[in-house]
Structure 1
Amino acid sequence: MHNDSSTKCWSEAGLEWCEIAQKNDFRMFFIMPYTLQQLGNVSGKRILDLGCGEGGYSRELAQRGALVTAIDCSEFFINYSTNKAKEQGLHITHFIRNSCDLYDIQDNYFDIVLCSMMLMDCENLDGTVNEIARVLKSGGKVFASVLHPCFKGKDINWTGEGNESMVVFVKNYFFPKEWEMPPTNGLKGNVVWRHRTLEEYVKLFVKNNLRITDLNEPMPTEEQIKMSPRIGWLTKIPMFLFWELEK
């Protein structure tokens, strides 16, 4: 294991983060439903849930018949995810690995690699994308989501109250930065956040022979806005960006 900044900070996140993650409105009512919709029928498919965190996606995919391998750099997250899978009677293979060093994982093995809200966290993004391409089958797909580089970053501020008055000020986009803050509101302890340009992501995909087949900036439905009014912000400005790639 490489004890880089990504690994170090996420290894210090514990039970409180796992519990909050399963209640976060953006994740549970918007990001996860959209991602699962895009994945479609996963029955019988070998799926790598890379940066699995507390394992919510892994469990849902296993319930839908996928053959799931869950990987995270945090020993605590992997133990939590393993125990939750056992409680629900689900067979999920778990490994503690850096995303940039998936040692002992077979080449050309997975039908799908899922990277939900994790690529922006990787210190070694180049190595991570290279490993994704290595373990993915020819014709296999990558489903990746990130904080939208154009509208969510260190020098990008959201202001205003309510959907209609929401405004974003962009002070700096072209110079990627790192900063530390809690991973979500109400949680103590900081993690490292990273801003990367769209160009950097795309060039790494191209470098590793991953073809962009789709890109989406989805808007929430009325039903989703009813579940959480602040999701309505996303009717004006996309906070999340979703890629579909193919090897």
Structure 2
Amino acid sequence: MIQDSSTHSWNVISEEWCEIAPIDETRQYFIMPYMLRLMGDVSGKRILDLGCGEGGFSRELTRRGAQVVGIDCAAYSIEFAKKQSLEEGLGIQYYTKNSSDLDGIESCDFDIVLCSMMLMDCEDLDGTIKEISRVLKPKGKLFASVLHPCFTGKNIGREGKGIDRKVIVEDYFNPAVYNQTLPGGNIEVVWRHRTLEEYVKPFVKHGLNITDLNEARPTREEADKSVPIAWLNKIPLFLYWVVEK
């Protein structure tokens, strides 16, 4: 497997991530439900969950009738996901690979590729998009979510607390790689700030068409779950894509 700074970072913190991911409120009550609504009926679909982490999406998609393959660069996360799948009798296939080198995965094999909150972590984004295009069937779709690139710069400032918190945007056009502490824990990962343009161009280069783009906002029911989720009705922290081959 190709080793790079993001691969190393996630392997270092994967055990802690597998503990906090299932109890992260924003992930459980907003990020996942929004993506599942966007994906719609997946029954009978063959899906690659690329950057699957501890396998939360893989398991839910399998419960909904999809045939799922999960891939992640973190070996511990894959072993954790395998264990959970076995305990539920779900039969999900999992592999440890770098997203920019899906060696052993057949071309034109998947109806859907899911990349939930992982493209911003890829050191080789171009290579990752190239591989996604390769493994998708003709007319297959990529569903992806990222942190909104407007708010990922290294020098982003924050003022206030709770629902009144404000964000100060600086240096949007300056690419940056830096360590960031994940919410809900004291673990750091490598974050990469890219502009919207830098996300879009690899899609065009590798024959993928953006068919939908959402600056995601929570429903009233989701906003009632927590103040951080309610705050997302003021600042679009997450960006969701639908991309077709």
Q: Same fold (TM over 0.5)?
A: yes
Count matched residues: 245
Secondary structure at 1:12's aligned position in 2?
helix
2:184 — aligned with what? 185
Judge conservation of contact 2:73–2:99 (CA < 8 Å) in 1.
yes
Q: How does 1:1-247 map to 2 (within 5 A)?
A: 1-163=1-163, 165-188=164-187, 190-247=188-245
TM-score by length of 1: 0.96
Superposed displacement of residue 229, structure 1: 1.6
Q: Which ranges of structure 2 fall in alignment gaps of 5 or more residues? A: none
Whichever residue aligns with residue 176 of structure 2, its letter is K
In the aligned structure 1, how far is the partner of 2:159 from the partner of 2:235?
12
Q: Residues 86-129 of structure 1: CA distance to partner in whole angstroms, max 9, x if unpaired?
A: 00110111111100000010001100000000000000001000
- Identity over aligned residues, as a percent? 57
Whichever residue aligns with residue 211 of structure 2, its letter is T
Judge conservation of contact 1:39–1:143 (CA < 8 Å) in 2.
yes
Whichever residue aligns with residue 178 of structure 1, its letter is V
The worse-fitting range, judged by mean Cα deviation, of 224-233 and 85-94 is 224-233
Whichever residue aligns with residue 145 of structure 1, its letter is S
In the aligned structure 2, how far is the partner of 1:17 from the partner of 1:219?
25
TM-score by length of 2: 0.97
Judge conservation of contact 1:151–1:237 (CA < 8 Å) in 2.
no
Judge conservation of contact 1:154–1:195 (CA < 8 Å) in 2.
yes
Superposed displacement of residue 19, structure 1: 1.7
Whichever residue aligns with residue 42 of structure 1, its letter is V
Judge conservation of contact 1:50–1:71 (CA < 8 Å) in 2.
yes
Superposed displacement of residue 78, structure 1: 0.5
Q: Cα distance 1:159–1:152, how it changes in 2: closer, same or farther (>3 A)?
A: farther
Secondary structure at 2:104's aligned position in 1?
coil
Judge conservation of contact 2:178–2:190 (CA < 8 Å) in 1.
yes
In the aligned structure 2, how far is the partner of 1:134 from the partner of 1:107?
5
* Coordinate RMSD, CA, aligned: 1.1
Secondary structure at 1:13's aligned position in 2?
helix
Judge conservation of contact 1:152–1:239 (CA < 8 Å) in 2.
no
